[in-house]
Amino acid sequence: MAANTIEHNRSRFNFEGVEAIWLFGYGSLIYKVDFPFLEKRPATIHGWARRFWQGSHDHRGTPEAPGRVVTLVEQPGVACKGMAYRVSPNVFEYLDVREKNGYLRFRTPMTFEDGSHAEGLVYIATEDNEAFLGHAPEPDIAAQIAGSAGPSGPNSEYLLRLADSLRQLDADCPHTFAIEACIRGSSVSG
C-alpha cells in the first residue's frame, strides 16, 4: 500500500447522516490537538499495543532519514490508554492529510474511565504500508529518533511530548518509556 493514504481513507467510511463520531488518539493526537472537537475524554482500547514502528517521512523525518512515530500492533491482553475526541466528520478532511503517511482509519470499541463504552475511529499504520519500519531494539529506535528531524520538528520532541502526555494520563507504556530513557540518558536528543 502506498504511504499516502488520503484518498484511501476518504473512501473507507460514509459519514452521511453522522453528526459526530469518536476518534481515539494514542500518539501525537494526545498532545497536538490542532483540530476542533466537541468533547474529549481519556479512553482505552484493548488488544492493541503502542509501538514506534512507523516511519515518518513527512513530519518527524525526511524520505532520506525517516523518523519513527507510533502505530498500534495487535497484542492480546494489552490495553492502550489514550484520548478520545468527539468530532464532526468534517474534521477528517484535515486529519486524513495530517495522518496520510501510511495510516488508515479503523473502527474500534473504546472504554472510558467511568466504565462506559463507545465505538470510534482510530488511525493505524499497518505493516503493509510503504513507511512501516517494524520492530527494532529500543536502543536502536532511540538512536534513530535522536538523529531524525522533519518539517514538524525533531523526532525526539515527538517522543518526549508523548511520554509526558502518557504520564499525565497515568498511562503505562513500557515501550515508550524505555525509548525515552535511552534518549534522556544520551547527550544527544535531536
HEC profile of 151-162: CCEEHHHHHHHH
**Contact call for residues 45 and 77 (beta carbons, < 8 A):** no
| Residue 99 known to be catalytic | yes
Q: Which three cell numbers, joined as nine digits, stand for 136?
A: 527494532
**Contact call for residues 29 and 15 (beta carbons, < 8 A):** no
Catalytic pick among 7, 99, 138, 157: 99
Neighbours of 176 (CB within 10 A): 22
- Indicate which residues carry an active-site annotation: 99
